[in-house]
Structure formats: structure tokens, C-alpha cells
A and B are shown apart, each in its own frame.
Chain A
Amino acid sequence: MLRGLRGIVEDIGGGVVFMGQVLSVALFKPCSFRSISEQIVKVTEQSWLTTAVAGFFVGAIMTVQFSLQIQQFGALGYLGGLATSGTIREVGPLLIAFMLSGKVGAFTSAELGTMRVTEQIDAIRCLGANPIQEIILPRWLGIVCSSFFLLAVGLMMSIGGGLLMGMFFSGISMQEYVRHIPTIVTSFSILSGLFKCLVFAMVLASICTYKGYTATGGARGVGRAVVNTAVATMVAIVIADWVTSVFSDVALRIVLGD
């Protein structure tokens, strides 16, 4: 138990030091725009379809759940607004983070882990380059930037899924569904969703690059790094969700002057 706890503390400490190095490289030796854009394209290509499909069904699920609840109060006109607000503020960013964690997080961790155990990272150092500048920073920024593209895709699809479900499951028209979206989905909801998306993407990118970069022990070590990445990102994203929810709530209260 104590050994496990010590391992977690050491892992967090190692991660913080690693992110310090990444930040230092980002400030003083930034990588090329080309290498970042390559990663953005790669991550987006890898995940947009899954995100779109998942987004569509999440929108549909949200609409069905809200529909069952608000039908009792005769407030079906608010269905579109409520379902969309819930998706933008909470479910959308969370969904994107989980999608990225499963696809991009595992992939990045395995890729970097393989580079580590096959001595490619050592070779980069011996050939006069900084591995953090060459391979870590572009991947980190690629994941963070592409998460916003994927959020946009996921949200559009979820609104589409919700709308279709509203029309065919709840029997309301398209005009009725979208009528209250502008009144319920405020700029604060959008900012809150974007903020969550940014935090989750940063958490994910940090964990998967760190776990891959520090993998040891051949093929088994790479496998272990991928599993640890999957577990750590899921837990960290849920914790980050709680923290950002509290933070958003406090910010909203301050803005409203409560």
C-alpha cells in the first residue's frame, strides 16, 4: 500500500519535472511550426471519425434523457437548449477527452515508448538534437490544438444527433428544437466548454508523452506504459473535470456578483 502510494507520488513528481522541461523548451527552443502542424493533422485524422460518430450518439442520448424528464413538465420546447447546453458545457469536452485518451493517448505513448526502448531517443541526443524539442513538444501541442478541432466536430454532430432524436423520438419540430438554444447556451457555457477542453487535452498530452518518454524494459515496458497511460488519463480527466466544474461555478458566481 505504502509502496504503491510512493510510486504514485514519484510518478507525479517525475511528471511535473518533465512538464517543466517541456515548458522550458517551449519558451526558449520552440519546435518548428511544420512539425506541430504535422501532428495536428495526424491526431485529427486519427480521431475525427470516431469523435463524430460518438458525438452524434451522445447528442441523441442527451436528448432522450432530457426528453423523458421534461416531458412531465410540459417543457419540451426547452429540449434543444438544455441538451445542447449540457453537451457544450460538460459532455462534449469530456467525450473528446475520452476519445483522445483511447486513440491518441495510447498511440502516442506506444510510439514514444517504442522510440525509447529501440534507442531512437538516445540516437536523437547523440546526433545533437533535443528529444523534447524534436518529438515531445510537437506531439504535446498537436494533441492540445487538435482537441479543439475535434471538439467542434463532436459538438456539431451531437447537435445533429440531438436534433434528429428530438424530431423522431420526442416529436418536436426543428424550429422548436433550436428556438431556445441561443437563450440557454450562453457565451459562458461555450467558454466553460472550451476551458474544459483545453485542460483535459493538456492533462492527456502531458500524461501520454511522459509515460511514453519514460518507458523502460522492452516490449513489456511499452505495453505497461500504454496501460498506465490509459488508466492515468481516465482518472486524471475525471479529477480535472471536477476541478474545472468547481472553478467554472466559482467564476460564474463572481461574474453574476453572487
Chain B
Amino acid sequence: MIRFDKVKKSFGPKEVLKGISFSVKKGEILFILGTSGTGKSVLLKNLVGLLRPTSGEIWIDGQEVSHLTEEEYLPVRRRCGMVFQHPALFDSLSVYENVAFGLRRHFSDLKESQIREKVMESLNLVHLNGIESKRPQEISYGMQKRVSLARTLAVGPEVLLFDEPTTGLDPITTNAINQLIQELSHKLQTTSIVVSHDMHCALDIADRVIVLDQGHIVEEGDVEHLKQSSHPLVRDFLQEALSAERA
């Protein structure tokens, strides 16, 4: 289980997270919604230690992780895989080498045949086959996003963190990615935290939703609870999702 306890994060004089507290249960798909600049990505980056909270605590399965050193964070990062907003693939490496990258670092004792097996398995999970030898620039943006997901899956994380997984994608690829998140969550029994501003997608696949505004949680609950919310921001999001559905 993951728990944020009064987490604050400031950049200079600007306080982005203003005492956030919430928890995520094992196997749950949690959506964190909010407009741009409300600190959604900052929240995820604090969880994997790319950023450190200014104050507050972050607990993962009974271990407080916010004070860990970079070395001590490695096992946490192996358990919590992050899929970034950009595909963040390494241009100089092939798709195969990109997916194998984390395996080679996290599990230095793996044989090449085992690495190959895991790479192919991960690419298969995201429905990509036969592109292992291609370079990232030779495949579409949607495919790059899926390779990025395969790279994270290859390490075998228990928690998957998605930072705006559908930004910049067409509606068909967006649906495919959303289905993939749901499918992986069920198939691999992973906990998923998805940062997004796509309410339509949240209504489809989220078990629970948190709405962030100005560094505070303004609404929290399951999809049905969210639909009854009277908070103006949530109503705006719902309105937007409704219009998108009609269109």
C-alpha cells in the first residue's frame, strides 16, 4: 500500500503541493486529475524519488521512503515503474536495447537469453512485435509510448505510475492505451496511479479518482461519487468528458 502523509513540495518561494494526504490500495487503479500546473507530475516524481518532498512522509508497504538516499531508492524504483509524459526513449539505442536497459541495470546477473525473453514478453504485452531492431525515431509517437511502457514493464514493477499517458495521442491510440492500462492492471495484478486531465478516460477505467487543484485535493472517491460532486472544477471536467463522449 502507498500512503502520502501531509506532503508539501516547494520550488523556491512557490509551493506546488500544499500538504497532500491520500492512500492507494494494492491492485487499485487510481486517477489523479487536475489542470496543468497543479502538481500532478510532481506528486508522482516524489514517489519515485526524482524529487524529494519539502515536508511530509511517503510510505510504501510500511517503509518511509522520502528520506532514502539515491542508492537506497533503487529497490523502490524497481518496484515502482514510471511511464513518463514523453516516451523518453534513448535515441541512440534500438527498441530492443531500450526495453533491455532497465533489466541490465536492475538485474545485472541475468543472462542474455533471459533478457531477450523478458524483452519479447514485455513487447508482446503492449501488442508490439517485430520492431525490436528499429530505432525510436523510426516508429510512430503512439508506438514510442507503448515501447516506453514495455521498458517499464520489463523490470516487473508492482506499481505502475503513468504521467499523462495519452497526451499528444489521437483518440484511437488514446483508447488503446487506456485499455492497455486496465488490461495490465488485471493481468499483472499491479497497482496503477495515473496522472491525467482526461476525465473521460478516468470514468472508463478508474477504481478511484483524486482531483487536485492549486496543490490541494478538492475531491476524492470512486467514479459514482465523482459524478455527484458539486465542486466547480469537477463539474467542468465532467462537462468536458460528456461533450467528448457526444462528439
Residues in A lying within 8 Å of B, measured CB to CB: 118-120, 122-123, 125-130
How far is B152's CA from A119's CA once the two chains are assembled, in angstroms?
14
Contact of B77 with A by CB under 8 A: yes
Contact of B194 with A by CB under 8 A: no
Contact of B84 with A by CB under 8 A: yes
User: In the complex, which residues of chain A have a beta carbon less than 8 angstroms from the beta carbon of B90?
Assistant: 120, 123
Using CB atoms, name the residue of chain A closest to B48. Answer: A126
Which of A120, A122, A130 is B45 in contact with, Cβ under 8 Å? A122
Which of A118, A126, A128, A130 is B50 in contact with, Cβ under 8 Å? A126
Tell me the smallest distance from the CB of B81 to a CB of chain A, in Å: 7
Indicate whether A126 sits within 8 Å of B74 (C-beta atoms), given known contacts A118-B88, A120-B90. no
User: In the complex, which residues of chain B have a beta carbon less than 8 angstroms from the beta carbon of A122?
Assistant: 45, 50, 82, 84, 88
- Does more than half of chain A's interface fall in helix, strand or loop, or is it mixed? loop
**Binding-face segment, B29-37, B100-108, B167-175:** B100-108
Which of B50, B85, B86, B148 is A125 in contact with, Cβ under 8 Å? B50
How far is B56's CA from A177's CA once the two chains are assembled, in angstroms?
75
Using CB atoms, name the residue of chain B closest to A118. Answer: B86
Indicate whether A119 sits within 8 Å of B77 (C-beta atoms), given known contacts A127-B101, A128-B105, A128-B106. no
How far is B47's CA from A21's CA once the two chains are assembled, in angstroms?
24
Indicate whether A119 sits within 8 Å of B105 (C-beta atoms), given known contacts A126-B48, A126-B50. no
Using CB atoms, name the residue of chain A closest to B82. Answer: A126
User: In the complex, which residues of chain A have a beta carbon less than 8 angstroms from the beta carbon of B155?
Assistant: 127-128
User: In the complex, which residues of chain B have a beta carbon less than 8 angstroms from the beta carbon of A126?
Assistant: 48, 50, 77, 81-82, 102, 152
How far is B90's CA from A127's CA once the two chains are assembled, in angstroms?
12
Give residues of chain B (128-159) contacting chain A, Cβ–Cβ below 8 Å.
148, 151-152, 155
How far is B145's CA from A118's CA once the two chains are assembled, in angstroms?
13
Interface centre among A126, A128, A130 (most CB of B within 10 A): A126
How far is B48's CA from A122's CA once the two chains are assembled, in angstroms?
10
Using CB atoms, name the residue of chain B closest to A114. Answer: B91
Contact of B78 with A by CB under 8 A: yes
How far is B227's CA from A8's CA once the two chains are assembled, in angstroms?
52
A-B contacts, 23 listed (Cβ < 8 Å): A118-B88, A119-B86, A120-B88, A120-B89, A120-B90, A122-B82, A122-B84, A123-B84, A123-B90, A125-B49, A125-B70, A125-B77, A126-B48, A126-B50, A126-B77, A126-B152, A127-B101, A127-B106, A127-B151, A127-B155, A128-B78, A128-B106, A129-B105
Q: What would 4 more interface pairs be, CB under 8 Å, given A119-B85, A126-B82?
A: A123-B148, A126-B48, A126-B81, A129-B105
Which of B85, B86, B88, B102 is A128 in contact with, Cβ under 8 Å? B102
User: In the complex, which residues of chain B have a beta carbon less than 8 angstroms from the beta carbon of A127?
Assistant: 77, 101-102, 105-106, 151, 155
Interface centre among B48, B49, B70, B102 (most CB of A within 10 A): B102
Interface bits B48-92 vs A (CB < 8 Å: 1, else 0): 111000000000000000000010001001100110111011100
Tell me the smallest distance from the CB of B167 to a CB of chain A, in Å: 12
Tell me the smallest distance from the CB of B246 to a CB of chain A, in Å: 34
How far is B84's CA from A120's CA once the two chains are assembled, in angstroms?
9
Tell me the smallest distance from the CB of B154 to a CB of chain A, in Å: 9
Contact A119 B101 (CB under 8 A): no
How far is B74's CA from A128's CA once the two chains are assembled, in angstroms?
6
Interface centre among B70, B85, B86 (most CB of A within 10 A): B86
Using CB atoms, name the residue of chain B closest to A117. Answer: B86
How far is B82's CA from A127's CA once the two chains are assembled, in angstroms?
9
How far is B49's CA from A128's CA once the two chains are assembled, in angstroms?
12
Which of A119, A128, A129 is B84 in contact with, Cβ under 8 Å? A119
Q: When A and B form their complex, which 7 residue pairs have the shortest distance between CB atoms, in order from nearest?
A: A127-B102, A128-B105, A123-B88, A128-B106, A119-B84, A119-B88, A118-B86
Contact A128 B45 (CB under 8 A): no
Tell me the smallest distance from the CB of B225 to a CB of chain A, in Å: 32
User: In the complex, which residues of chain B have a beta carbon less than 8 angstroms from the beta carbon of A120?
Assistant: 86, 88-90
How far is B71's CA from A129's CA once the two chains are assembled, in angstroms?
10
User: In the complex, which residues of chain A have a beta carbon less than 8 angstroms from the beta carbon of B85?
Assistant: 119
How far is B94's CA from A144's CA once the two chains are assembled, in angstroms?
28
How far is B70's CA from A120's CA once the two chains are assembled, in angstroms?
17
User: In the complex, which residues of chain B have a beta carbon less than 8 angstroms from the beta carbon of A128?
Assistant: 74, 77-78, 102, 105-106, 155
How far is B74's CA from A123's CA once the two chains are assembled, in angstroms?
13
Tell me the smallest distance from the CB of A34 to a CB of chain B, in Å: 13
Tell me the smallest distance from the CB of B158 to a CB of chain A, in Å: 14
User: In the complex, which residues of chain A have a beta carbon less than 8 angstroms from the beta carbon of B77?
Assistant: 125-128
